[in-house]
Amino acid sequence: MKRFWVLSCVACLALASVASAAVQEGDTELELLAGWMAQNGEDDGPDIDSFFLSGAVGYFLTDNIQVQGVAMGAWNEIDMGDGYDVDVDVYGLGARAKYHFMPSNQWVPYVGGQILWANADLDGPDLEIDEEEISLDGDADGTLWGPVLGLRYELNAYNDFYVEYQYHIWDGDIADLLDDGHGIFVGIIHQFK
C-alpha cells in the first residue's frame, strides 16, 4: 500500500508540471543563449567558425506571440595562413518575434524571425601583395536577419531550457565579409511572473 501512495504522489507531481502553462500572455522573460556557428565567407573567402553569445528581454503579447529586444556578440579568429590571424568581433542590436505552438504544454515548439543592426570590427596585420600594402583592419556595418526555429522545455514555473536554430542572412557593408550562415544554440530562459 505504501508503494501505491508513493507512485500516486510521483504521478500527481508529474501531471501537475505538465498541466502548468509554459508560456502565457503577460509573461516577461530574460533569455540567455550561447552556441557555435559557421558562416560562409563571401566569394569563396575563408569560412568562419565562431562562438556566439546572445541575450534578450521578451514579452508575451498573447499566449502564442512574443516580441523581444536582442543583443548579440560573436568573437572570431580567422587563420589566414603564413602565421597571419585576423580577429573579427561582431556585435548586434535588434528585435525578434516568435510564435509559440501549444503554449500550455511542457514542450513548446516555436517559429519566428529576427532583424538586427550589426557591426563587425576587424583587427589584423598589414600585408604586402604585389608591392601593394593591404590593411586587414577595418569596420563594417549592416543588418543580420533571418528565421528562427526552436523548442523550449519547462524546467519549473520560472525557468525553461531551449534549443534554437537560426539561419543568418547578412546585408549592407558587412555582406562583403559574410554571406549567410547557420547556428544551433542552447540557452536558458527565466520568466518573471
Using 50, 70 and 90 to split pLDDT, how confident is the model at 45?
low
Q: What is the pLDDT of residues 7-38, one digit of tens each?
A: 444 444 444 444 456 788 999 999 998 877 67
**Euclidean distance between CA atoms 141 and 116, whole angstroms:** 11
Residue 3 has pLDDT above 60, yes or no: no
| The length of the chain, given as a count of residues | 193
Using 50, 70 and 90 to split pLDDT, how confident is the model at 94?
very high
Q: Tell me the pTM.
A: 0.75
Percent of the chain with pLDDT over 70: 78
Residue 149 has pLDDT above 70, yes or no: yes
Give mean pLDDT, residues 115-135: 80
Supply the mean pLDDT for the chain: 83
Domains, the chain, in order of start with CATH, read: 2-192 (2.40.160.20)
Residue 15 has what pLDDT? 40
Residue 50 has what pLDDT? 81
Residue 138 has what pLDDT? 83
Three-state helix/strand/coil letters over the chain: CHHHHHHHHHHHHHHHHHHCCCCCCCCEEEEEEEEEEEEEEHHHCCCEEEEEEEEEEEEECCCCEEEEEEEEEEEEEEEEECCEEEEEEEEEEEEEEEEECCCCCCEEEEEEEEEEEEEEEEECCEEEECCEEEECCEEEEEEEEEEEEEEEEECCCCEEEEEEEEEEEEEEHHHHCEEEEEEEEEEEEEEEC
How many other C-beta atoms lie within 10 A of the C-beta of residue 57? 14
**Euclidean distance between CA atoms 89 and 112, whole angstroms:** 26
Give mean pLDDT, residues 59-67: 96
**Euclidean distance between CA atoms 27 and 22, whole angstroms:** 10
Residue 168 has what pLDDT? 92
Residue 79 has what pLDDT? 67
Percent of the chain with pLDDT over 90: 49
